């Protein structure tokens, strides 16, 4: 079922909810809030009305057009339509980096490249950025990093 990570995704989900009806989204609470893909709930759009949190062991999240896409909880056994993921073309973005190293360091060493990617991925996760895949763009000849000549510190 759908994971709603932003107001934009919430609006997209709302376009799939039948008029005058509620629909399941992938939101669960069994003592903690989480999405059906296992991710944490970072975007919140709670309905201030009645929510049975605490009165049941497990509750599932719904959204509706009637309350402007606010999240509410029902018994997971309630029969409702549901909003699923859609297949979309992922956005690709190229980021250029300039690294300053000692001359003896080979940035194209496969182990070093893997470690740099791991550090970058860890940093993204620390900032709760999910769904991002990092990879190196290789130049002709297989190199990722090229030595720049005549680069001044003011160019960084």
Same domain, 138 and 97: yes
What residues make up the domain containing 31?
A: 7-75
Give strand ranges (E) for the chain.
Answer: 22-29, 33-35, 59-64, 72-75
CATH code (residue 54): 3.10.100.10
Same domain, 13 and 69: yes
φ/ψ (deg, to 5) at 14: -60, -30
- pTM beyond 0.75: the answer is no
Encode the chain (156 residues) as per-residue pLDDT tens digits: 888 888 888 888 888 887 778 899 999 888 888 888 888 888 888 888 766 666 777 788 988 877 788 888 888 888 998 888 665 556 777 888 888 887 788 888 989 999 999 999 998 888 877 777 888 988 888 888 887 776 555 554
In a domain, residue 48? The reply is yes
Question: What integer pLDDT is reported at residue 66 of this predicted model?
Answer: 77
Q: Reading across the β-sheet that carries 22-29, which strands appear in turn?
A: 33-35, 22-29, 59-64, 72-75
Task: Give the total number of structural domains in the chain.
Answer: 2
Same domain, 71 and 95: no
Same domain, 106 and 143: yes
In a domain, residue 83? The reply is no
In a domain, residue 124? The reply is yes
Same domain, 104 and 71: no
């Amino acid at each position: 079922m759908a994971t709603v990570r932003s107001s934009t995704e919430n609006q997209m989900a709302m376009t799939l909810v039948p008029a005058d009806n509620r629909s399941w989204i992938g939101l669960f609470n069994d003592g903690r809030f989480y999405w059906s893909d296992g991710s944490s709930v970072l975007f919140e759009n709670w309905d201030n009305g009645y929510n049975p949190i605490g009165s049941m062991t497990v509750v599932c999240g719904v959204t509706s057009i009637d309350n402007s896409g606010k999240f509410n909880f029902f018994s997971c056994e309630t029969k409702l339509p549901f909003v699923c993921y859609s297949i979309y073309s992922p956005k690709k973005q190229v980021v250029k980096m300039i690294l300053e190293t000692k001359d003896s360091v080979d940035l194209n060493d496969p182990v070093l490249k893997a470690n740099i990617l791991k550090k970058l991925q860890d940093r993204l996760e620390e900032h709760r950025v999910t769904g991002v895949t990092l990879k190196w763009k290789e130049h002709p000849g297989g190199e990722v990093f090229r030595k720049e000549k005549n680069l001044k510190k003011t160019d960084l």
